[in-house]
Each structure stands twice: as structure tokens, then as C-alpha cells.
């Protein structure tokens, strides 16, 4: 991290100060506090100079008299490109939220988001830094705005951070937001985690001693650290496991960081010789990295005092990448990255971050005015989501595995309550049919239809379940 600003960065700071002069944030502070905070975050993430400059200027085109041309003249094409991308993204952001509310302009905004993203992934990283600072200072906003921003962060930005494998950022964003979305639940779970950790303290210490001794015997260099489960990820896991905390196996997780891959597997062997591994809980994300490039060995074991503990074993490089993700690769490969961006290549990315390439290729097509087949448009950015279409072509995002009733209730509860059938891609289908990426879904309704209890088995989203339950209860009365 530079201790002193370069001449270009210092010039950008002056430019931003002048441009934002007389503007104030909701906190009452001068506006320049915000771009300066974004600058600091980007520096901490180890981003390159152009990104940092664009971060300093990210709000100028939208909110001040400065133009893109001014920025281009002063700092060159690359910086102007990034600022333009961030400005476009902030318009498109609204569109992401509008997917929920089903507005006709959704698709345009969606495309704008694609184009902005496809241009340069650094645009997204600036946007994430921007959002992070806004979240950190959210307390200054009125409650309804707080909730709106927090919810949007949980739905869009935290998953984006996850797609870029920026683990630390994802956790900070999710927990900060969740606090505003559901303060009571947040406090409850935070308390629960603290109590759990306290109760586990002694046995954790013993495990650490046992592990250390065994590793030293095998001459494996290592560092060991405990990992606290974040409040939001516990919340999500509990929802998945019917609120049964005994089914959450990674409440206590220990991280083992070793020198190289060979040692990772050696360490796994040693841990399994000390404790009983739980069947089906060994995951080799080194041989098979996650889609976002995350690598580690995971195993869950039962300790001598019958505790369930998860171990995550990885090298230093994998650890760094798990916490800082895509930003970390800028830090290590700044020179190479910059060159590659100029050439339009992204070789430094982990091999399985192919979705970024796909996104960039799609965006390039759109920019050239070429037709993109919506049905084939693969959006791996949200790997756990599918995007389906109404017959009119509006995009609806749903969790993977969603069924026609989930779709119907997403459109409107009035539609959901009166479903008599569904056509998928023009063909009659049934309510048990899982929807797939790109499906065109047409819901058939009848005024005389009433919701059935049996529908509860034909629904996977909590949103649809709530709506249906609500109606079923009302009918009972």
C-alpha cells in the first residue's frame, strides 16, 4: 500500500475536492469524505492506480459539473472508462432491484449492468468499495432508506463479493446489512454465537494443542486460527436446517494454513488420524475449486469430547485469495493485469472464473449492437439463481430449483392463488416441473381456482410459501 499519494492520485484528490465543494453527506460531513474513504478501501484492497483514481472521482460525473471529457483529458482513457462504468452501474443498480418489482425497463437496466461489468471488472470493485463505505455510514440515513439499501446489499452486492471470492468483504457487507434488515434477529444470533464460542473455548484450546503437537511431530509448518461464523451466514444456514442449530456443523471452524499443497493433504491425514471424520463432509476444493476460485480442503470431525468441528486447510496463497478474492490477484499481478486488460485478456484469473470471460464476451456483443439470444444468455454471476422470462420477455430471477408456483407467486399473489396450469416454453407442463435457466413461463389462471394445501409441496421459495400460507390461513377462518 502506498504511504504517500503519487502525483496523479494527489491531482485526482484535488480535482474531486474542487468538484464536490459545498456538497454535504447525510452525516453532515463534507461530501469529499466519501470518495476519500473509497480511495482508502481500494488502497487497502491493493488495487492499481487507475482504479484508485477512478474511485476518487467515482461520483463526480453523476453529481458535479465535471464531465467524462474532463477526466479523460486529465487522467487518460482508462480512468474515464472506469468512472463511466461506475456511473452506468449506479443507474443499472436500480434495475437489479426492479427485477423484483417487475418493471418493464428491467431488461434495459440489466443490459446496462452487463455492459458496465463486461467492460472491466474493476468497475465492479469500485462499486463494491463505494457500497461498503455507504453501508458503514448507513446510520445517518432515515430507517426506511437504511432498510432498502441494506436489503439491496444482501441481495445483490454481498453475492457479488462472493462471486469475486472477496470473503472478508462479503462477511462485512452481509453482517452490516443484516443488522439493519432484521435487528432483533441479528442481536439474537450474535448473542447465540458468542455463547456458543464461550462454551467451546476450552475444548477448542485442547484441539489446538493436540493438532499443534501432531503437526510438529510431522514437521509441518502451520498457523492455526479459529473462525467465527458470521451472523448472516448462520441465519441462512438455520433457515435451511429448520432452525436446528445441531445440524450446523461449521459453527466452530478451525483454519489450518500451511506452506504448500502437499502439506494440505498431509494435514488432512493427520487430522483424520486424531479425530473421527464425519462421512460425506470431506470436500476437496483444491482439486475442484469452487466457481469463484475458492480453494481449501474442508473436513468435519468429531473430537474426543464429542464436539463437531470443521477444519479448513489451505496454503497462504489460497487463504489470501479466499479473503480478498479478485482484488488479491490485482495486488500480486498488478503489472500483468494492467497489460492484460489493455490486451483484453484476463489470464490471471483462476481458470474457473470463466463467467467473467463469458460476461465480457456477451457485453462486447451487445456493445457492437449484435443480437444476443436471451434464452442462451448464461449469467453465471448468480450461480445459485436462474433467470426465467414471462411471455412478454420480462426477466424474473428465482433460486435454482424453483417451481412454477414460486414463479407465479413472485409475479403477484393474485396470480399465485389462481393457478390452474403452466406452459413452459409454449408447452403444457405441470406444477412439479423445475424451472430452468432461460425458460419462458406462462401461468394459466382461473378466477374460480382456490389455493390448495398440497401446493405447499410444490413450492421452494419462502416468499411463495408465506403468501400461500397467508391465504390458506385466511380461507380457514
Catalytic residue among 14, 63, 209, 247: 63
Backbone torsions φ then ψ of 443, nearest 5 degrees: -95, 130
CA distance 173 to 177: 6
Q: Which of 14, 21, 62, 218 is catalytic?
A: 62
Nearer to Mn ion, 130 or 397 (CB): 130
* Smallest distance, Mn ion to C-beta of residue 130, A: 4
Q: Quote the least distance from Cβ 31 to Mn ion, whole Å.
A: 9
Residue 63 falls in the annotated catalytic set: yes
- List interacting residues with Mn ion (CB under 5 A): 59, 130
Residue nearest to Mn ion (CB): 130
Give the residue with the Cβ less far from Mn ion, 59 or 182.
Answer: 59
- Cβ closest to Mn ion, residue 130 vs residue 263: 130
By beta-carbon proximity to Mn ion, the closer residue of 59 and 263 is 59
Distance in Å, CB of 176 to Mn ion, minimum: 16
Cβ proximity to Mn ion: between 62 and 247 the closer is: 62
> Does 84 participate in catalysis according to the annotation?
no
Minimal distance, residue 382 CB to Mn ion, in Å: 23
CB of 34 to Mn ion, least distance (A): 6
Task: Give the catalytic positions in this structure.
Answer: 62-63
Amino acid at each position: 500500500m502506498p504511504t504517500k499519494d503519487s502525483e496523479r492520485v494527489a491531482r485526482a484528490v484535488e480535482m474531486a475536492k474542487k468538484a464536490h465543494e459545498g456538497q454535504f453527506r447525510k452525516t453532515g460531513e463534507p461530501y469529499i469524505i466519501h470518495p476519500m474513504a473509497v480511495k482508502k478501501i481500494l488502497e487497502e484492497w491493493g488495487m492499481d492506480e487507475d482504479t484508485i483514481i477512478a474511485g476518487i472521482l467515482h461520483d463526480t460525473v453523476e453529481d458535479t459539473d465535471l464531465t467524462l471529457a474532463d477526466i479523460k483529458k486529465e487522467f487518460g482513457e482508462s480512468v474515464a472508462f472506469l468512472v463511466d462504468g461506475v456511473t452506468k452501474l449506479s443507474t443499472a443498480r436500480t434495475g437489479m432491484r426492479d427485477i423484483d418489482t417487475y418493471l418493464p425497463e428491467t431488461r434495459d437496466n440489466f443490459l446496462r449492468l452487463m455492459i458496465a461489468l463486461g467492460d472491466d471488472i474493476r468497475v465492479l470493485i469500485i462499486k463494491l468499495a463505494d457500497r461498503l463505505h455507504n453501508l458503514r455510514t448507513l446510520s445517518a440515513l432515515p430507517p426506511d432508506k437504511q432498510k432498502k439499501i441494506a436489503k439491496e446489499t444482501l441481495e445483490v452486492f454481498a453475492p457479488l463479493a462472493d462471486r469475486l471470492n472477496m470473503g472478508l468483504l462479503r462477511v462485512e457487507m452481509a453482517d452490516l446489512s443484516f443488522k439493519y434488515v432484521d435487528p432483533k434477529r441479528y442481536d439474537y444470533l450474535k448473542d447465540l454465537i458468542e455463547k456458543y464460542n464461550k462454551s467451546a473455548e476450552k475444548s477448542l484450546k485442547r484441539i489446538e494443542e493436540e493438532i499443534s503437537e501432531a503437526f510438529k511431530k510431522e514437521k509441518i509448518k502451520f498457523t492455526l486460527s479459529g473462525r467465527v461464523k458470521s451472523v448472516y451466514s448462520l441465519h441462512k444456514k438455520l433457515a435451511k436446517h429448520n432452525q436446528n442449530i445441531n445440524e450446523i456443523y461449521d459453527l466452530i471452524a478451525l483454519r489450518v494454513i500451511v506452506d504448500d499443497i502437499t502439506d494440505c493433504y498431509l494435514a488432512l491425514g493427520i487430522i483424520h488420524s486424531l479425530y473421527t471424520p464425519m462421512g460425506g463432509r470431506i470436500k476437496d476444493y483444491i482439486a475442484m475449486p469452487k466457481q469463484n476460485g475458492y480453494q481449501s480442503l474442508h473436513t468435519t470431525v468429531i473430537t474426543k469430547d464429542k464436539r463437531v468441528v470443521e477444519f479448513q486447510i489451505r496454503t497462504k496463497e489460497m487463504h489470501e485469495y479466499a479473503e480478498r478474492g479478485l482484488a488479491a490477484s490485482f495486488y500480486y499481478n498488478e503489472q500483468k493485469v494492467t497489460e492484460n486488460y489493455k490486451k483484453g485478456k484476463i489470464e490471471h484469473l483462476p481458470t474457473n472464473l470463466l463467467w467473467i470471460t463469458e460476461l465480457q464476451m456477451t457485453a462486447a456483443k451487445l456493445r457492437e449492437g449484435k443480437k444476443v439470444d436471451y434464452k442462451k444468455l448464461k449469467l453465471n454471476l448468480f450461480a445459485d439463481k436462474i433467470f426465467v422470462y414471462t411471455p412478454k420477455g420480462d426477466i424474473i430471477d428465482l433460486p435454482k430449483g424453483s417451481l412454477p408456483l414460486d414463479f407465479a407467486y413472485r409475479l403477484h399473489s393474485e396470480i399465485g392463488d389462481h393457478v390452474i396450469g403452466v406452459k413452459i416454453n409454449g408447452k403444457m407442463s405441470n406444477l412439479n416441473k423445475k424451472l430452468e435457466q432461460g425458460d419462458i413461463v406462462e401461468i394459466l389462471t382461473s378466477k374460480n381456482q382456490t389455493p390448495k394445501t398440497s401446493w405447499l409441496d410444490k413450492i421452494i421459495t419462502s416468499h411463495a410459501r408465506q403468501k400461500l400460507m397467508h391465504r390458506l390461513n385466511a380461507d380457514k377462518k
